[in-house]
Structures are given as C-alpha cells and as structure tokens.
Structure 1
Amino acid sequence: MGAASHQSGAAGRAPTADHPASVRNVVLVGHSGSGKTTLVEALALTAGAVKRAGRVEDGATVSDYDEIEHRRQRSIQLSLVPVEWAGVKINILDTPGYADFVGELRAGLRAADAALFVVSAAEDGDGLSGATRMVWDECAAVGMPRAIVVTHLEAARADYAQMTTVCGDAFGADDPDAVRPLYLPLHGPAGPDGHAPVAGLLGLLSQRVYDYTSGDRVERDPDPGELALITDARARLIEGIIAESEDETLMDRYLGGEDIDLKTLVDDLERAVARGTFHPVLMAAPAADGARKGLGTVELLELITGGFPTPLERAPVNVTTPDGAARPAVTCDPGGPLVAEVVKTSSDPYVGRVSLVRVFSGTLRPDETVHVSGHGLTDRGHEDHDVDERIGALTSPFGKQQRTLAHCIAGDLACVAKLTRAETGDTLSAKDDPLLMEAWSMPDPLLPLAIEAHSKADEDKLSQGLARLVAEDPTMRLEQNPHTRQLVLWCLGEAHQDLALERLRTRYGVQVDPVAHKVSLRETFGAKAGGRGRHVKQSGGHGQFAICEIEVEPLPPGSGIEFVDKVVGGAVPRQFIPSVEKGVRAQAARGLAAGYPLVDVRITLLDGKAHSVDSSDAAFQTAGALALREAAAGASVQLLEPVAELAVLVPDEYVGSVMSDLAGRRGRVVGTDAAGTGRTRVLAEIPEIEIGRYAVELRSVSHGTGLFSRTYARHEPMPPQIADKLREQTEKGSHLT
C-alpha cells in the first residue's frame, strides 16, 4: 500500500484469471446516494478499464447499464464491473442502496469474498443508515472482511474526521481500535466560500504525501506541518494493527520504543484485513476533468489487491446431491468438481436470458452441458427443476458490452447465455455428478400488488411475462389467491412494485392494471336462525317444484360447514337430500351479507315438500340456496377477518414507536423478547386488513431498521363499525384492502 508504480488493465480488454490467487471479489455496500456507482466508475478509470470518467460507450456507465436504471438515474440491480490492477482481476459488484432491492445486495454478498462499505462525508452523524449497520453485522456474523471508503469529499460540508469517528462508533462497537483510517486528507487552499477542497492524501503508515493537485498522483515527503498531522494518527493506527498481529512479541517491542519497520506493519495490516478482524477507513473522489486518476483510487485498489482475501481463502462450500445425500465440501480448486451458482438472472433483448454465475469449484467452459439443480421455491412461483442444459457463450460484462471469455475458473465470475431453465440461486454442476449448494437467505416479500391484464392481448402474454419476471427476481412471489381469485405479486416495497410493472411493460410487452388488494374475509351466523326455500314454477311441460326448511346455527371457529339431515317421513325424497346440500354449500361459498364465503355453521335440513313429476336435482339445489339466504335475512351475519401473528424485529430504541403503531392498527401485543445485542422482537396479533402496507410503514417507523414476519392465525369477528363500512363499500362495488 503506497507502491510507486502499478500495472493496470487496458481499456476494451476483458480481464482474465488463470488462477484463483489472482482474483478478488468485492461487493460495494451503502445506502442510496452514498456514491457507490461513482466510485466504481472512478476505479475503472484509474485501472485503465475506460478512457474517460467511467463511461464505456454512448454515454452509458460501467455499472448502471440497464435501460430502466438509465432512465431513473438510480441503481436497481446488482452489476458486475471487472477491472485489472497489478496483475489481479478485481470483480467489483455494485449493489443498489435502496431497501426495496435488498435481494440484489444479498446476491452480491453471496458472490463476494469481501465487502467495501461506502459512506458519504457530507452526511451528519446519522449518515450511516440502520440498514447499512445491519448489513455490517451480517458480514461480521460470517467473518467477511470489510473496509470503509468515505466519498463526497468535494461537498462543501464534507467532514472526513467526523465521518471516521461515526464509522468507529457504528462499526467498531466491539473493538474500537479495529476501525482506523489509513490516510488523512490533504486540503488545498480555501475558496471564496471558505471551503478547502481535498487535494491529496497523507499516508499514515508510509509517512508519505500523495498529492493529486496537478491531476496526476505525485508522491513526496511531508513538510513539517504535514508530518505533525500524521504522527498522532499514525500511532493510533499502529496500535490497532499490532493488536491484531499474530506476532505476540510485537506489542511489547513497540511499547518498548522499537520502531517497527513498514513492511512488517503492512504485512500485518493485510493479514488482519483478510481475516476480517481489522477494518481500515479510506477516502476516494472521482477524477477531476482531464485527470487520469481519482483521488484515493490507487490506494483503494492497493488495499483490495493486497489486503482483501483471494477466493482460495474462502471456507469450503457445503454441497449435497439433488436428492439430499451428503457429499464432501468443495474447495476453490479449478481442477475440482464443477460447482457454480447463479447469483443473478436477467434478460437481454438480443441474447435472451443471461445468468451471472460465481464458480466455487472446477472450471466452467462454453458450450458444455451442465446439470441445473434448484431448491424449488414453489411458494414464490419458482418451479422445481433438476435438468441438464447446454450453456452458451461465457462473457465478461462491461456496461452494455459483453466480452467473450474462454473459460471461468474457480473463484471467478462470468455471465452465461442460454440457460433457459436456470434461475437465481440454482447450482450448476457436472451432468454426471450433479450437486446442490446450500440455499441462501432471501427476504420474504410482504407488500401485495394485485394486478389484472389491461386487455385480451395482454392476458394472452401475462402468464409467460410473469414467469420470466419471477425467474429473474427470487425476492418476488407470485400468488393466484383461490379465495379472492386475484393475481398477486408480493414485493419488498413500492419501488419494487413500480419496477415490476415497468419491466412487464417495457421488457415483456405486457400491460397490467393494479387493482385493490382483497383480504380473505369470511361470514358466519351470530345466532341460530331458520329459513324456508320455495322454488315453484310452472310454464308448460315439466315445471319446477322444491320446498325445504332449514335451521342454521353457529359453530366454533375452524369448524367449516356441517350439513345435517333430520328429514322424517320422506318429506324430501332421499335422492334430493344431496341436492339440497349442494345448493346450500354453493350459496355459502358465494356469501350472504357481503359476498364472502360462509364458514363455521351447522345447516340442518328439517322438512320440505316434493312433487312426483316437477321435482328435480336442480330445483332442490335452488331451494336450498334460497332457504340459506332467507335464514341470513332474518339473522345477524357477522363478518370474520383474518388475524395474523406478527413478529417485528427492531433496535431497542424503536420498540416504543412500533408498539404504539401496532396499537393504532387494532393490534394486540402479546410479548417481547431480546433478540441479540440491542434488538428486540415484538410479538403481536393484528388483523390482516391493517397491515396491507406494513412493509412500507414499518420502514418509516423504524428508520429502515425493522424487519417483520407474519403467519396466519385465525379468523375473528370484525368490529361492527368496520363491518358496516365494508358492507357499504361492497354495495358501491369497491372492496376493503
């Protein structure tokens, strides 16, 4: 770190790797607006992958190459940008910062071996979102190496010192000495507004100055004032590095006054970073007009190549056969059995389906036949599959370009064309030795979007379009609700919903209309009631004659519908008893008061009349339905609403706000329990009508830090005032959502 010369990649050439030791896989993490995509562009420029500020062709960026991203000016999907530095291929995985696209972030974490957390120097003390801190904890739980880069140094209110303190407080809670800056900013002359821009870096370990004033990176000795700034911060950095050193004598030697040589410090720093026990803070800014390197980008590339682990250092990957039989874990060996995973699926209008694949073992080659094994997420609309497929070309993405690769070795990433059955999360392996990797955790979509085809032409294309949409996005769930007869897309948030509609329209040519989401309500009788159904018609020829008398009484919840025959003396002939039952059950399914299915009642057939010629199956079905409707007209029919068991996981400081919000939604808090350091799980029962948009509203209440799960508990009587409102809406043709 701080080397004078570097070997960078050439623009237009796809970086290649012939050994896992020459690969680094890095995921960028940070909230929306923190500057991740700008940083990717700056790194690509410094590495020589592009010739001007992050652009590849037609003004497109190296990262946001999707047309929807280009229109929205916001990252919405995981993108891969491979660059080369000092003979090392660096796969930079740029992730969206918006919470609705956390599935793309999870994919990036799955594919990477280290994480670079991007934070903005222009933010105040609350600049690190709760969601970013949650991802940090998630990485810590699996020991993923992490570093921090501070961006937006050019902003008038940028405060690098404050942000390094914030990072230490947020990310170094367990070990404050493990989060330390490697560089301090060198400020240039102040402008008319009093703001002094960052013009270079003060290297704390090397005690050198890296001056970017001229547009080039110029290395020089510090002047006395600069050296004074370096000295104190350097001592704290060295103490943090030595505390993580494997050499137990190093601390004693340092405290005894020995001057530890630079190579020892750098080696120990790189080992501690690779182990995930030390987290350096760096800074970066895009290149000024005409400059060939962005400020801090050389130093960041040095950290990635020297300090971040190679794929060889990743723990062995557990695998089974597709039928669940245990197999030995596989290591990162290009000569080992083929084990690769689809971490992202997308559609190209010219190529078709394109799968971004991380190879964990073996070597993937174009035009070979592989076995595709899936976990069968049938609850999310993903079919189970266990098939052989011939893959197409292997390519390396770069903006809108796809550059051909001869192969992809263990530890590397590539795009694979023409995998028509493979979906995100599927495993690719040898066809004669099929294997399956452990499934990775994906967030559960909890925001419903009910849709209808806009026209008959759209209806014909809807099924195929939806199938392709959910194949690309495992965080989306497709449901055909049998109770409400609605087609529902379950999403992570409103932006996720908007993206689904736009992709259906622009990518798959399907126009759909959002409609109000219906909750599966039920009806039941509040007290015993009787009804008489009389269906008598005579209009020439055979007439219709059927009369039946029934009694309806409520049953305990969950009883369904019970039909009892108490007819005596053959008043209703035996062959027509099933007809009456069929009629009342059909009417119960259609509903009585507000059009929702009737449940939890006993319907007893007491008496009736028949005609030797005019009675029929159809007549008694109609009479049974009429009898049930008459019973309902003279009785209290209650509406039952579904109640969910809700588990809300939030930081302790938001527990009060969450409980107050739940109470305002007719929720009943049934308990709380500790869920790790500083977090609480709130357990509640709440009507499902009240949580249709809870995925969005909890995010607001908890500042993006809350998570929740829901399971159906039971149906309960709806409060009369809400039930009356619903009946009014039903009469007007609308539905409570």
Structure 2
Amino acid sequence: MGDKTGAHPGAAGRAATADHPRSVRNVVLVGHSGSGKTTLVEALALTAGVVNRAGRVEDGGTVSDYDEIEHRQQRSIQLSLVPVEWNGIKINLLDTPGYADFVGELRAGLRAADAALFVVSAAEGAEGITGPTRMVWDECAAVGMPRAIVFTHLEAARSDFDAMTRGCAEAFGGDDPDAVLPLYLPQYGEPGADGHAPVTGLIGLLSRRIFDYASGTREENDPSTEQAPGIEESRNRLIEGIIAESEDETLMDRYLGGEDIDYKTLVDDLERAVARGTFHPVLAAAPAADGARQGLGTVELLDLVTGGFPTPLERETPAVTTPEGTPRPALTCDPQGPLAAEVVKTASDPYVGRISLVRVFSGTLRPDETVHVSGHGLADRGHEDHDVDERVGALSAPFGKQQRILSECIAGDLACVAKLSRAETGDTLSAKDDPLLMEAWSMPDPLLPLAIEAHSKPDEDKLSHGLARLVAEDPTMCLEQNQDTHQVVLWCLGETHASVALERLRNRYGVQVDVVPHRVALRETFGASAAGRGRHVKQSGGHGQFAICEIEVEPLPGGSGVEFVDKVVGGAVPRQFIPSVEKGVRAQAARGIAAGNPLVDVRVTLLDGKAHSVDSSDAAFQTAGALALREAAADVPIHVLEPVVEVRVLVGDAFVGTVMSDLSGRRGRVVGTEQSPDGRTLVRADVPELEIGRYAVDLRALSHGTGRFSRTYARHEPMPAQLATKLRQEAEKEG
C-alpha cells in the first residue's frame, strides 16, 4: 500500500459513484486546529484528479468553498465532504474543524466515517502532541474509530519525523508503543542554508522501495546500499508490530524462524489491525510543489485508504428501534436491506435552500421517493422531535460550489439531499411503511450562554424564524426562552461558536441582534417571621373599594415554594374573597418584594380582615393581599437566593491545583475529587451560577484547552449580604 504505481485517479469534473459498499471508503480527517487538514484534503483531491494544479474545479471554485464565514475566520468551522475516486474506489473525504468550539462537527464526521486520518503538524514538535491534540484523539477512541497518523508541515525547521513518531507512540500507543509505527520513512535532500534538510521522498518499508518526489513527479527507485541497513531495521520492527496483531498465531513464530512473510499477508493483517483500532500506521504528506501534479505522500495515503482502510461492510451499524422505542434486529450494510439513513449535517444554501448531508447505513436512497423522518430527542435544546413523511429531493455530491447529481445512494455511501424541510441533524430517514429510529450519537453540552435581543422591530419579526433555522443546522446549540428572566438565550460551546452564530443570523438570515448581559434566575425569601396588614380603602363616588387583611409570613425550607393557609374565623373575610387574597399574595410574590425577584419558600397565613357589604370586591382583596405581603417584608431581612450548580471538572493532574484555586475564587466549595486512570482528575464543586457564566472559556485557558466540565442545577442559596445589596441598588437604578 502506497507502493502501487498503477494508480487510476478519478477524472476531474465527474462525480464519483459506488455500486457496492466494498467500493466505498468513508474517511474523516481529524486533528487540532492548524494541523493542515483542509490543505491535505485539497492535496489529495489534486492527486486524485478532482481539481487542477491551482486547486480549482471546473466552476472556478475550490473544494473548500463551502462557507463564506470560514474564509473570514481563516479556519474550518463545519464538516465538509469532498468525494474523490482512486483505483476504482470512491473515497468520501470528510474535513472536520479542529477548534474545540466545533467538536459537534467533529462528532458528526466520526459518525459518518469508517476510519480516520489523524493529522498532526510536525511544526509543533513532539511536545505539541499533548493538550488539544490528545483531546481529539480521545474523541476518536471513544467511538472506536480506526486511525492512521499523518504528519504535515515537514518543511518546518523544527520538524523531526523520528521524534514525532516517538511522541505519538507515547501519547497514543497506550501500553504498546509498537501500536504506532511508520509505514514509510522520509527521504531527505541536501540541507539548506538554515541547516534543515527538506523531505524529498518516502521510503516504503514493506516494499523496500524509494518514492522520490524531488523532480516534481513521483519516481520509484531501489534503495541505495547506504539506505538498506536502516530500512531493514525499521522494516523488521514494523513487521513485528503488524504480526503481533495478526489472527494467525503461527505467523510470529514463522517470521522469527526466518520465513519471509509475503507482502499480501502483511497488508491483509495490517488492514485488520487498523480496522480493529489496535494499530495506527504513521505516514507523511505535503502539498504539491510548484509545477507538480502530486504532493509528497498523497499517492501513498490514497493507496492506504483504498487498500488498508475498512469498508462500510466492516462497520457495525448503529442500533435501531421503531419511533416508539421497540427494538429492531440489527441492520447490516446491505443495499437491498431496509432503508436506514441518518442526517449528519444540515446546511442552508441561498439558492437551493436546506441541504442535508446523509449517510446511508442500510438500503438504498433514491431521489423523489417519500421517506419517514424520525426525530432525535433533542427537544430540550430547541430541536423538535420529528415523526413525519417527507419527499426526498435531488441527490448530489459536492464539487466545489456545485452539486453533481447522483441517481442513488447505496448503503455505506454519503450524499447531499435537497429539500428535506423538516429533517434536522441527527434525524433518521427510513421507509415510510417501515419507520426506524437510529441510536443517537453523543452531542456535547453547550455551556456558554449568549443572551440576545432583536435590534429593531423588523428584526423582532424575523428573529424566531432565524433562530429556528440556526438551531436546525447545529444540534450543539441550545435555544432557551427563559421563563424566569424573560431572555432569549443561545447556549454555545465557546466564544467563536457564539460569534459564528451571530454572523449567520446577520448575514444568512438577515436578523440583526444585540448581545445583552445574561441574567440568572434569582429568588427572594424572608429571613424571619413577620406580620403584615393590607388596607385598601378608597371612595370616589359610586361603589368604592374596601378590603383589609392581616397575614403572617414565616420562612420555609428551600424548595417549598409559596404556601397559603387560611385561618380566618368568624367570617371576618368572606369565603368568596379568601381566594382573592391568595391570588394577590401570589401575584406579589411572583413580582418580588426587594429586588424584583420571585419570592419563594414562605408560608403566608391569612389570620383576619374586614369587608364591606357593598364596596368589597375580588380586585380589592387582591390588592390588599399584595399590600399585606409588602408590609410584612418591610421590617425583616429579605434574603436574595442565587442558583448554585454542581460543577464536575475533568482536568489533567498538572492543572488540578489551578482549577481548584480558581473555583474557590468563584465562591465555590470543592466537595471532592476522583482520580481517573488516564492521568486526569475529576473535581466536584458547588459554585454559584453567577460566577461561572464564562467558565467554558476560562477553563479552556486555565487548562491549555484540555479541561472539560459539566454543570447541574443543585439548589438556591442565600447570596452574601454585600452582593445582595449591590444587586438591589442596581435594580433600583434600572427601575
């Protein structure tokens, strides 16, 4: 693999098609932001003949022309698909963002793919393999994704192939450093003025062949006498690493006994080890030099993908049920089986409308047929559940800014589907007479709140529609209409995620919004028992208003709400007006009595009162009840209650002290720590919600991008007196 010379690239301008799952490879490119994933996709597309030397397709665009915001941000912010063809195999290349704010796009790519190219920048040096790079590796490991490692930026002065390989073996090999070994060694040219020797070719260890790119054309040669000893040493270690994963238990003994294991056996065992995720071959790649048709290592990568990566037939299909939850037998990747496809990405095109990127796991999807759309269970994030029939529009494959029409999409393949107006990311498409629901993949929790308001009346009219379309595209975003603070809140994964959301609202949906301070749901309660008298007596001609009531208020334990007790005797307050008093008390409690926050955890007892046979009314006693509650609050301390959340922070051991100190500075109480087996620690703490509004951003800085946290509402607790006083003063100024 990587040693074939008869590569047959797909012709530019022709949409790659597949007639059987075995002729499909779904490959996701993953890696930290800046590692060179998109550049590598373009280099592979050039080698496969999808684009010309300038990186342009026939319509004048490039394979990465997908979102105008990406060009302004100078980074990938969403999953994109580039299909190519190599050696008669259709390869769906899925380019993912590497920035932590877009981990949802990464997980979508992992769902759609069967193997991954894990891209690591050699410019960062071996020490750059930790932190965010390790987090992306863990994302792949969590779903059992087979991976090969690709080094980029080998032209950097500090790049060191051997050191990078050792670093990856230490970081990713676990207990077996031989699980990460190179398939090729770099061949170096003459050192330049800076002393750095450029990589001019690759040395195939399995084939013992040299692939020289120095002339701009890939040339195959025999190794020199000086190269042979180094090749044999690395080759023997590679073969031992492959054989150690072989299902043939006699193979190692035969090899150690001097038998020359044939090339096909080694390649077959390599493919099985990669598919199981127990072996991760290392390769190197670089864009094509000026005038060259093929970038260094791109042929070898394409050959590895077609000859050494698993087919869709080797992937276990996600579990399925009926929409009602009844388990169904496991599906296989069979084009003749029942239809089961999943929307892994939703995007909007200004001319075509909504476009859904779909992975077909079973059956065959055809244009103009009616399918059943089953919902995804993300209603708590503003994504409604679906259980409807929809007509499929055209099927296509992306090609720059154009979409190339497909006649069908078989099991194991990917396609873009137009005009699915109801389907959202994570939804299942199945036959309308046999509806199915696929097991959902894990979505990260958005933990950064962004409170917004419409900028003007025209924007207000368009806001709800724009927000609905925004969250339909991005299941990692949560839309909250907060009933306590009356704010519209977009929960995002980070600042960049939030800025992209605002830009899409403004430029794509024509909605201008203003960002306002996010408010948390505060409460108030009595600090001691108190009595109050509400007197509402007015006479202005005709029927007057007369109502007097006397109440007693006492605090209750947290979570008790507002209790109302009637202890009136002797008919001092007529029975028909007692509900009126309660209604007035509860209305005043909802409005608050100190800083405009709802009153909770009190018992209000109606003790006595007076009524007038003519002037008393429902409205009068409602007013009296409210006045009585306000009077009772005037002579006792009123506690402002703030929400406290249980925070669980998973962070590397080196950052535990920093994180705990930071939590304490946020008025948090650390309640425990738990050691994880992977060199990380789980810190549990109770923290006021007021103090962690930006914790999603701050934790990333504290832990060098490696920390994660979750939060769960625990309870409301009294706020410190000085802080409560400050909030009251601010409320009075605003009022």
* TM-score, with length taken from structure 2: 0.97
Q: Distance in 1 between matches of 2:673 and 2:296?
A: 49
The aligned residue for residue 552 of structure 2 is 551
1:25 alignment counterpart: 26
Bigger CA drift: 194-203 or 136-145? 136-145
Paired residues of 1:29 and 1:132 also in contact (CA < 8 A): no
* Partner Cα distance (1:195, 1:357) in 2: 45
Cα deviation, residue 295, structure 1? 0.5
Offset at residue 657 of structure 1 (A): 2.5
In the alignment, does 2:176 pair up with 1:175?
A: yes
Which residue in the other structure is 1:572 paired with? 573
Q: In the TM superposition, what are the counterparts of 1:58-457 in structure 2 within 5 Å? A: 60-457=61-458
Return 56-65 or 39-48, whichever deviates more: 56-65
Cα distance, 1:354 vs. partner?
0.6
Secondary structure in 2 aligned to 1:498? helix
CA distance in 2, matches of 1:459, 1:143: 45
* Structure 1 residue identity aligned to 2:93: I
Check conservation: 1:559, 1:601, Cα contact below 8 A: yes
Rounded to whole Å, the distance in 1 between the matches of 2:538 and 2:246 is 96
Alpha carbons of structure 1 residues 134 and 83: separation in structure 2 relative to 1, 3 Å: same
Question: Offset at 1:218?
Answer: 0.8
- 1:471-490 equivalences under 5 Å are 471-490=472-491
Partners of 1:483 and 1:508 lie apart in 2 by 28
User: What displacement does 1:465 show?
Assistant: 1.0
How many angstroms does 1:573 deviate by? 2.9
Q: Could you tell me how far 1:129 is from its partner in structure 2?
A: 4.3
**1:623 CA drift (Å):** 1.9
Moved more, 685-694 or 417-426: 685-694
* Distance in 1 (alpha carbons) for counterparts of 2:66 and 2:724: 50
Amino acid across the alignment from 1:380: R
The 1-side partners of 2:573 and 2:431 are apart by 68
Specify the alignment match of 1:703 in structure 2: 704
- For the residue of structure 2 that corresponds to 1:61, the secondary structure is coil
Counterpart in the other structure of 1:726: 727
Q: Find the residue that maps to 1:219 and give its secondary structure.
A: strand
**Segment drifting more, 134-143 vs 588-597:** 134-143
Q: SS in structure 2 opposite 1:71?
A: helix
Cα distance in 1 between the residues matched to 2:38 and 2:679: 32
Q: Aligned partner of 1:449: which letter?
A: L
Deviations 1:537-581 (A, max 9, x none): 233333323222222111111111112233334333333222222
User: 1:683 maps to which residue?
Assistant: 684
Deviation, structure 1 residue 59 = 6.3
Partner secondary structure for residue 673 of structure 1: strand
Separation (CA, whole Å) in 2 of partners of 1:142 and 1:638: 48
Preserved CA contact (<8 Å) 2:31 2:136? no
Distance 2:164 2:65 in 1: 27
Does structure 1 retain, via aligned residues, the 8 Å contact 2:115–2:145?
A: yes
Amino acid at match of 1:530: A
Cα distance, 1:585 vs structure 2: 1.1
- Contact kept, 8 Å, 1:63 with 1:398, in 2: the verdict is no
CA distance 1:632–1:279, shift in 2 (3 Å) = same
Secondary structure at 2:124 match in 1:
coil
Equivalent in the alignment of 1:529: 530
The structural deviation recorded for 1:307 is 0.4
Give the letter for the 2:233 counterpart. D
SS at match of 1:585: helix
Conserved in 2, the CA contact under 8 Å of 1:115 and 1:147? yes
Cα distance between partner residues in 2 of 1:39 and 1:183? 17
- Aligned partners of 2:271, 2:322: CA distance in 1, in Å? 37
Count of residues paired in the alignment: 734
> Structure 1 residues 601-610 or 430-439, which shifts more?
601-610
The verdict on how the C-alpha distance between 1:138 and 1:497 changes in structure 2, with shifts beyond 3 A counting, is: closer
% identical equivalent positions: 81
In structure 2, the partner of 1:639 is 640
Change (3 A) 1:56 1:733: farther
> Is the contact made by 1:452 and 1:514 (CA closer than 8 Å) also made in structure 2?
yes
Contact persistence 1:646–1:684 (CA under 8 A): yes
Give how far 1:676 is off: 4.0
Residues 313-360 of structure 1 deviation map (CA, whole Å, 9 limit, x = unaligned)? 112442111111221111011111111111111111111111100001
Secondary structure, aligned partner of 1:467? helix
Kept in 2: contact 1:30–1:132 (CA 8 A): yes
**Take 2:649 and 2:570, find their aligned partners in 1: how far apart are those partners?**
60
Distance 1:60 1:192 in 2: 37
Distance (Å, rounded) in 2 between the aligned partners of 1:138 and 1:98: 13
CA deviation string 1:236-272 (max 9, x = no partner): 2122122122332322233233333434333332332
Q: What is the letter of the counterpart of residue 178 of structure 2?
A: D
Comparing 268-277 with 446-455, greater Cα deviation is found at: 268-277
Which letter does structure 1 place at the counterpart of 2:359? R
CA contact (8 A) 1:41 1:53 kept: no
Contact (CA 8 Å) 2:125, 2:158: kept in 1 or not?
no
Pick closer, same or farther for the CA change 1:523–1:12 going to 2, 3 Å.
same
Matches within 5 A, 1:462-501: 462-501=463-502
Deviation, structure 1 residue 104: 0.4
Is the CA contact 1:209–1:222 (under 8 Å) kept in the aligned structure 2? yes
Uncovered stretches (5+) of structure 1, i.e. residues with no partner: none
What CA deviation, in whole Å up to 9, does each residue of 1:341-395 have, x standing for no partner?
1111111111111110000111111101111111232101111221111100000
Q: Aligned partners of 2:145 and 2:75: how far apart in 1?
A: 27
1:49-79 deviation digits (Å, cap 9, x = unpaired)? 1112433367643135111112222100000
- Separation (CA, whole Å) in 1 of partners of 2:556 and 2:274: 65
Aligned mates of 1:55, 1:161 — CA distance in 2: 35
Question: Structure 1 stretch 385-394 or stretch 372-381: which is displaced more?
Answer: 372-381
Stretches (4+) displaced over 6 A: none
CA contact (8 A) 2:396 2:406 kept: yes
| 2:591 is aligned with 1:597 | no
Range moving further from structure 2, 262-271 or 449-458: 262-271
Q: Which amino acid aligns with 2:389?
A: D
Q: Tell me how far apart the structure 2 counterparts of residues 79 and 141 of structure 1 sit (CA, whole Å).
A: 22
8 Å contact 1:519–1:689 — kept in the other structure?
Answer: yes
Distance 1:457 1:207 in 2: 69
What whole-Å deviation, never above 9, does each CA across 1:88-116 have from its counterpart, x for those lacking one? Answer: 00000100000010000000000000011
Equivalents in 2 of 1:430, 1:54: separation in Å? 40
Between 236-245 and 360-369, report the one with greater CA deviation.
Answer: 236-245
CA distance in 2, matches of 1:326, 1:673: 36
SS of equivalent residue, structure 1 residue 328:
coil
Contact 2:213 2:296 in 1 (8 A): yes
Q: Mean Cα displacement is larger for which, 315-324 or 299-308?
A: 315-324
CA shift, 1:616, in A, is 2.1
Query: Which residue in 2 is equivalent to 1:520?
Result: 521
Q: Secondary structure of the residue that 1:233 maps to in structure 2?
A: helix
Structure 2 spans left out of the alignment, 5+ residues: none
The worse-fitting range, judged by mean Cα deviation, of 50-59 and 29-38 is 50-59
| TM-aligned CA distance change 1:592 to 1:334, over 3 Å | same
Q: Is the 8 A contact 1:63 1:399 kept in 2?
A: yes
- The answer on whether the counterparts of 1:31 and 1:129 sit within 8 Å (CA) in structure 2 is no
Question: Does the 8 A contact of 2:110 with 2:145 survive in 1?
Answer: no
Equivalent pair of 2:151/2:285 in contact (CA under 8 Å): yes
CA contact (8 A) 1:322 1:434 kept: yes
Inter-CA distance 596–327: structure 2 relative to 1 (3 Å threshold): same
Contact 2:59 2:400 survives alignment (8 Å): no
Kindly report the root-mean-square deviation, in angstroms, between the aligned alpha carbons of the 2 structures: 1.7
CA distance in 2, matches of 1:597, 1:13: 64
Q: State the partner residue of 1:539.
A: 540
Asked whether the equivalents of residues 42 and 53 of structure 1 are also in contact (C-alpha less than 8 Å), the reply is no
Amino acid paired to 2:473: E
Partner of 2:52: 51
Aligned-pair CA distance for 1:9:
0.5
